[in-house]
Amino acid sequence: MKISTKGRYALRMLIDLAVNSSDGYVALKDIAARQGISKKYLEQIVPLLTRSGLLRANRGFQGGYMLSKPANQYTVGEILRVTEGSIVPVACLEEEVNHCDRQEDCLTLPLWQGLNKVISEYLDSVTIQDLIANNPAASGDDYCI
């Protein structure tokens, strides 16, 4: 499994919005500048996040984006599933029911199921708030003594 730039940038965008949530709606150009990501690329990610209910959008003069819920209610797993589609390690686990013809004889299936469980449980246990709390630079305390 390899997470694409779409998934990684969506995560960075949502973290940026969480850190800057006191500003109300945040302009995409500001997020792009802070994160060093092309505004055009973020414009491709935004529809996925708004359709899934992760973002609220406001058009017009004071327009921009904000999180639709508190940062501690967003899991990394949820965000990656929205942007990546699937985070399973092998194709036969993408459906709720495994339709693989070799399922009964597959000696590696338990390995993939276990890996999928570990990945999902871990990504679903980490929130945006956890990522912010684990990085002092994200909280604005970037001074040195």
Residues 75 and 123: beta-carbon distance below 8 Å: yes
| Tens digits of pLDDT across the chain (145 residues) | 789 999 999 999 999 999 997 878 999 999 999 999 999 999 999 999 999 999 999 988 888 999 999 999 999 999 999 999 889 998 888 888 888 888 888 999 999 999 999 999 999 999 999 999 988 665 555 444 4
* pLDDT at 144 (0 to 100): 45
Class of the CATH domain delimited by 5-86+127-139: mainly alpha
- For residue 143, what pLDDT is reported? 45
Q: What is the pTM of this model?
A: 0.86
Domain boundaries, the chain: 5-86+127-139
Residue 42 CB burial class (10 angstroms; 0-12, 13-18, ≥19) = buried
